[in-house]
């Protein structure tokens, strides 16, 4: 779970940072600290406290948790879980929205051989100079062409690696 996902779960529960902190007896800054982290440590003391109020996933992602609810729904505890399922769906949608706008370090190999330090285009992995603005192939013909080129590129890579 990322800090952004933690924030999305808190918001889906309708709590401000201050409200959550007050309910579980931690400082607001602890909530803010973990929401800014790239990776939320599930075993950390403050995180454990937050988990008393929020439905935090044990696993690093939210989706498997949701699937387990879907499975339970199929086995007959539908009524209690419907509300939770709706909440998790809302969380997932928010997480998707956050991911769609996330800007990461581009990291493409530059002519100097170093990694590009520009920020990527929102929701993309590369900056505007390294393909972040590209939509990729759009026509069926174009898609076939890139598929074939990729196929040849990887075949060559495998061949070179064996040498």
Please state, as a whole number, how many other Cβ atoms lie within 10 Å of the Cβ of residue 77: 11
Tell me which residue of 52, 53, 65, 46 sits closest to 12, measured CA to CA. Answer: 53
Q: Minimum distance from CB of 42 to Zn ion (Å)?
A: 33
Q: Minimum distance from CB of 123 to Zn ion (Å)?
A: 15
Contact 111, 135 (CB under 8 A): no
Q: Minimum distance from CB of 104 to Zn ion (Å)?
A: 11
- With CB under 5 A as the contact rule, the residue among 7, 8, 50, 106 that binds Zn ion is 106
Residues between 114 and 143 that touch Zn ion (CB under 5 A): 116, 118, 127, 130
Written as six digits, the tokens of 37 are 């982290």
Alpha helices in the chain (DSSP H): 3-12, 17-24, 28-36, 45-50, 63-74, 78-101, 140-162
Nearer residue to Zn ion within complex by CB, 105 or 153 = 105
Please state, as a whole number, how many other Cβ atoms lie within 10 Å of the Cβ of residue 65: 17
Nearer residue to Zn ion within complex by CB, 83 or 114 = 114
Nearer residue to Zn ion within complex by CB, 31 or 127 = 127
Q: Minimum distance from CB of 122 to Zn ion (Å)?
A: 14
**Cα–Cα dist 56/92, whole Å:** 12
- With CB under 5 A as the contact rule, the residue among 108, 119, 123, 125 that binds Zn ion is 108
User: Which residues of the shown chain bind Zn ion in the complex (CB under 5 A)?
Assistant: 106, 108, 116, 118, 127, 130
């Amino acid at each position: 779970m990322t800090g952004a996902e933690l924030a999305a779960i808190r918001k889906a529960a309708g709590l401000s940072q201050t409200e959550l902190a007050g309910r579980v007896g931690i400082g607001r800054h602890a909530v803010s600290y973990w929401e800014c982290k790239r990776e939320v440590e599930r075993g950390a003391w403050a995180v454990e406290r937050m988990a008393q109020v929020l439905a935090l996933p044990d696993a690093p992602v939210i989706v498997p948790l949701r699937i387990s609810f879907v499975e339970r729904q199929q086995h007959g505890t539908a009524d209690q879980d419907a509300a939770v399922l709706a909440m998790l769906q809302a969380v997932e949608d928010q997480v998707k929205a956050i991911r769609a706008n996330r800007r990461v370090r581009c990291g493409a190999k530059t002519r100097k051989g170093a990694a590009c330090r520009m920020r990527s285009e929102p929701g993309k992995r590369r900056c505007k100079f390294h393909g972040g603005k590209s939509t990729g192939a759009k026509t069926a013909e174009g898609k076939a062409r890139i598929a074939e080129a990729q196929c040849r590129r990887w075949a060559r890579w495998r061949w070179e690696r064996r040498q």
